[in-house]
């Protein structure tokens, strides 16, 4: 055993060093200036790196949103060409063109009703708002609505749109204000809502263009939805605008625009909103003037006039007058621009915090240097006082601290926290070697880490520590070498990280679930776009063949398979987004009774279903459908576990008062009255490995082909 005595007194060591070097003052001053210069250089580099990263994120969002819009538009055009090239549309159009060009005759034409009947299922399947057939002179000769027939089509307003379709091109119009009332988000018919049209040429047998076929599209369904996915953080926004700098899409800040007076509260419409700079932050007050025509366009709109892309990462005012940073792209093919912006305050919030930390750290370090100089000038009795204070700090620090002889690896000193954490007295600790605090299986790893000290002087590693009673906890150990008069020693700071390990595992699991959900939702959305024309075309074929046709079985099979695929897509999209709950006061006994009736008809006769329902259980605030879903799924899972040998399935409902003991077990609860639903069965149960994975999507212990493979994720979401 080592007999070295150790005095772990940092102020004494510093005093001795400073007093031996008369040049300490000048060295400290030079070091302070150098530290400030390094700090300023680091801050400059951090600003540049933050701007590069921000630009990359904004460009990625803008380009991804633009690509998604273009893909959606091209898909709509491809689908419409199929209808425009059909024999039915061609023949009905030729019949209408041959009729007298007036409202009455066109409306009474048999081709009009046949065309409407032919397109009716298409409108439902694709969720379109209507169709038009427009003659070369711009007159609507067929339409979903009677009022449009025989009148000039709304798209005459968009320069060259109908002309380009008549020349043989398929096009998607820019959003424009509808000429007829359309359903809003609540389903209420409202005047002046935005609408879009996709158009394709109708050709005769000689491939000559004879008319234009148009579908009316609601921008809120896909156009605005795609742009909403490009919203970054809490203030980021992606929107589109035309060559005149007018907004084409929905704004994220409708409430702010209404409060500022830019939009009418009774009928808010961003199509009437030019993206101009008011010169003041409108979120902090109402409009100072309504003379919007004299307001200058914001930077992205100015570039739109000259059809250029651009960026600004230092800050400019958006159409709310709020300082933002952003990038913008101009799409020459579709004649619109797309901008992705985010408030400056949010964009550089992390950078500002980091710079503040660096400045603070710089001032702290400089202050420490000056403090050391001040300490070096103190008298001996002040140094002794400082030594006592440091010993007190050493013993009361939040981490366990031990001092080790690097040669013998014996403990030379330990603070009070080390004694408390390791369950040894200080004298007992001084009898131990460092390996005595670790299990025998970790000896090689510990020796390797201690050998690193000779090369690195300062190391941090994680390991397991064995207490006196044999229990083990995870620890982070930071070890550094210190040169003292008595020789070189190792200082080891031991921190219990058991709780942190648990939190890290939970965070990692949560991130994996979010990634899987996002991936599943994205894939499902794209796959759904592919299913739509498949099911739609199969329905069109089925509608045009006899019921007893030999082809009917194939079309029915396509439609049935497509619908099953659509149901799978719906489940994937549910996994990829947060469900909207209809929370309301509900009476649980009727909800359970409904579920029990369905369960009785769904489980084998070999399973005995028993219930214990307290009919006087108080109401709760919940989503009744989610409660019903959880009960059904749990019971079906239980029946699968008992279907071979039978068993007993019990469902019970009782009120319960959550006391302090229950709250400690379930951290999300608060003390109070609750309703407790218990579902138990006599199946084989599950081990700990299975229990940890029950909320993982696609996890299942069932055989292939039995049940859904979403794990218990629906229960967790409910």
Q: Given the DSSP bridges, would you call strands 647-658 and 672-681 parallel, antiparallel or unpaired?
A: antiparallel
175-179, 261-265, 332-336, 478-482: least confidently modelled range: 261-265
Q: 39 or 235: whose pLDDT is higher? A: 235
For residue 11, what pLDDT band results from cuts at 50, 70 and 90?
very low
Question: How many residues in total does the chain contain?
Answer: 718
Q: Given the DSSP bridges, would you call strands 607-613 and 647-658 parallel, antiparallel or unpaired?
A: parallel
For 71-109, write each residue's pLDDT tens digit.
Answer: 999 999 999 999 999 999 999 999 999 988 888 889 999
Q: Rounded to whole angstroms, how far apart are CA atoms 712 and 692?
A: 11
Average pLDDT, integer, range 518-536: 77
Question: What integer pLDDT is reported at residue 377 of this predicted model?
Answer: 59
Average pLDDT, the chain: 80
**Residue 53, Cβ neighbours under 10 Å: how many?**
12
- Locate the DSSP E strands across 206-318: 209-217, 237-241, 310-317
For 304-342, write each residue's pLDDT tens digit.
Answer: 777 788 899 999 988 888 999 999 999 888 888 999 999
Counting Cβ atoms within 10 Å, is residue 288 exposed (0-12), middle (13-18) or buried (19+)?
A: exposed
**Which residues, in sequence order, are bridge partners of residue 647?**
607
Answer whether residue 666 shows pLDDT above 90: no
Question: What integer pLDDT is reported at residue 664 of this predicted model?
Answer: 64
- 480 Ramachandran zone, left/alpha/beta (phi>0; psi -120 to 50): beta
Neighbouring residues of 589: CB distance < 8 A, sequence distance ≥ 6: 613, 614, 615, 617, 653
Proportion of the chain above pLDDT 70, given as a percent? 82
Question: What integer pLDDT is reported at residue 155 of this predicted model?
Answer: 81
**Residue 273, Cβ neighbours under 10 Å: how many?**
19
Q: 578 or 253: whose pLDDT is higher? A: 253
Question: What integer pLDDT is reported at residue 463 of this predicted model?
Answer: 79
Residue 496 per-residue DSSP state = E
Helix, strand, or coil here: 327?
strand
For residue 699, what pLDDT band results from cuts at 50, 70 and 90?
low
72-76, 147-151, 364-368: least confidently modelled range: 364-368
Question: What integer pLDDT is reported at residue 34 of this predicted model?
Answer: 86
Answer whether residue 362 shows pLDDT above 70: yes
Question: 125 vs 130, 177, 278, 693, CA distance in Å?
Answer: 12, 24, 44, 38
Answer whether residue 364 shows pLDDT above 80: yes
DSSP class per residue in 620-660: EEE-HHHHHHHHHHHHHHHHHHHTTT-EEEEEEEEEEEE-H
Answer whether residue 9 shows pLDDT above 50: no
Answer whether residue 290 shows pLDDT above 50: yes
328-332, 449-453, 576-580: least confidently modelled range: 576-580
Neighbouring residues of 136: CB distance < 8 A, sequence distance ≥ 6: 166, 209, 210, 211
Helix axes 380-396, 10-20, angle to 10 degrees: 140
- State the virtual CA torsion across 298, 301, 302, 308 in degrees, nearest 10: 140
Question: What integer pLDDT is reported at residue 695 of this predicted model?
Answer: 65
Here the tokens at position 479 are: 């070890």
């Amino acid at each position: 055993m080592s007999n070295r005595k150790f005095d772990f007194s940092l102020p004494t060591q510093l005093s001795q060093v400073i007093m031996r070097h008369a040049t300490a003052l000048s060295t400290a001053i030079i070091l302070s200036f150098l530290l400030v210069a390094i700090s300023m250089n680091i801050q400059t580099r951090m600003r540049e790196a933050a701007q590069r990263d921000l630009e990359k994120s904004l460009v990625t969002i803008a380009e991804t949103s633009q690509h998604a819009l273009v893909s959606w538009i091209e898909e709509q055009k491809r689908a419409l060409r199929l209808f425009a090239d059909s024999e039915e549309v061609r023949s009905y159009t030729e019949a209408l063109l041959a009729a007298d060009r007036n409202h009455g005759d066109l409306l009474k034409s048999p081709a009009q009703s046949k065309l409407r009947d032919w397109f009716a299922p298409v409108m439902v399947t694709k969720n379109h708002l209507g169709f038009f057939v427009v003659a070369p002179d711009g007159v609507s000769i067929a339409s979903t609505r009677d009022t449009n027939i025989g009148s000039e089509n709304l798209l005459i307003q968009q320069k060259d749109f109908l002309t380009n379709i008549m020349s043989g091109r398929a096009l998607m119009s820019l959003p424009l204000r509808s000429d007829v009332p359309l359903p809003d988000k609540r389903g209420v018919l409202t005047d002046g809502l935005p609408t879009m049209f996709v158009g394709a040429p109708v050709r005769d047998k000689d491939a000559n263009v004879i008319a234009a076929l148009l579908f009316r599209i609601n921008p809120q369904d896909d156009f605005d939805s795609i742009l909403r996915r490009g919203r970054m953080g809490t203030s980021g926004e992606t929107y589109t605008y035309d060559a005149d700098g007018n907004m084409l899409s929905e704004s994220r800040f409708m409430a702010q625009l209404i409060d500022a007076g830019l939009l009418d509260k009774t009928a808010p419409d961003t199509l009437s909103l030019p993206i101009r700079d008011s010169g003041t932050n409108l979120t902090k007050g109402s409009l100072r003037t309504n003379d919007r025509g004299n307001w200058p366009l914001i930077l992205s709109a100015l570039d739109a006039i000259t059809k250029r892309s651009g960026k600004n990462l230092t800050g400019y005012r958006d159409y709310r007058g709020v300082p933002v940073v952003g990038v913008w792209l101009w799409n020459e093919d579709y004649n619109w621009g797309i901008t992705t912006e985010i408030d400056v305050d949010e964009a550089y919030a992390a950078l500002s915090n980091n710079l503040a930390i660096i400045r603070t750290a710089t001032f702290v370090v400089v202050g420490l240097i000056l403090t050391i100089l001040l300490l070096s000038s103190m008298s001996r009795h002040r140094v002794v006082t400082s030594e006592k204070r440091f010993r007190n700090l050493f013993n009361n620090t939040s981490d366990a601290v031990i001092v080790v002889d690097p040669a013998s690896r014996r403990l030379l000193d330990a603070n009070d926290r080390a004694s408390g954490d390791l369950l040894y007295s200080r004298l007992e600790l001084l009898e131990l070697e460092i390996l005595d605090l670790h299990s025998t299986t970790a000896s090689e790893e510990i020796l390797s880490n201690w050998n690193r000290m000779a090369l690195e002087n300062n190391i941090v590693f994680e390991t397991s520590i064995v207490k006196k009673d044999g229990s083990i906890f995870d620890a982070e150990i930071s070890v550094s070498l210190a040169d003292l008069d008595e020789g070189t020693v190792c200082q080891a700071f031991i921190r219990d990280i058991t709780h942190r390990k648990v939190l890290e595992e939970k965070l990692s699991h949560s991130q994996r679930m979010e990634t899987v959900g996002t991936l599943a939702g994205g894939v499902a959305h794209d796959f759904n776009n592919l299913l739509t024309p498949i099911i739609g075309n199969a329905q069109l074929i089925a509608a045009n063949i006899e019921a007893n046709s030999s082809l009917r079985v194939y079309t029915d099979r396509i439609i049935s398979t497509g619908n099953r695929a659509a149901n799978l897509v719906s489940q994937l999209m549910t996994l990829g987004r947060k469900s909207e709950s209809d929370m309301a006061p509900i009476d649980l006994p009727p909800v359970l009774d409904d579920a029990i009736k369905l369960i009785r008809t769904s489980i084998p006769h070999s399973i005995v279903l028993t219930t214990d329902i307290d009919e006087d259980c108080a109401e709760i605030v919940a989503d009744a459908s989610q409660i019903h879903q959880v009960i059904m799924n749990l019971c079906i899972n239980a029946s699968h576990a008992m279907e071979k040998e039978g068993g007993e399935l019990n469902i019970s409902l009782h009120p319960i008062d959550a006391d302090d003991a229950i709250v400690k077990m379930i951290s999300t609860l608060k003390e109070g009255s609750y309703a407790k639903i218990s579902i138990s069965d006599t199946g084989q149960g599950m081990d700990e490995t299975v229990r940890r994975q029950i909320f993982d999507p696609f996890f299942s212990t069932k055989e292939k082909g039995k049940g859904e493979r979403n794990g218990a994720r629906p229960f967790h979401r409910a």
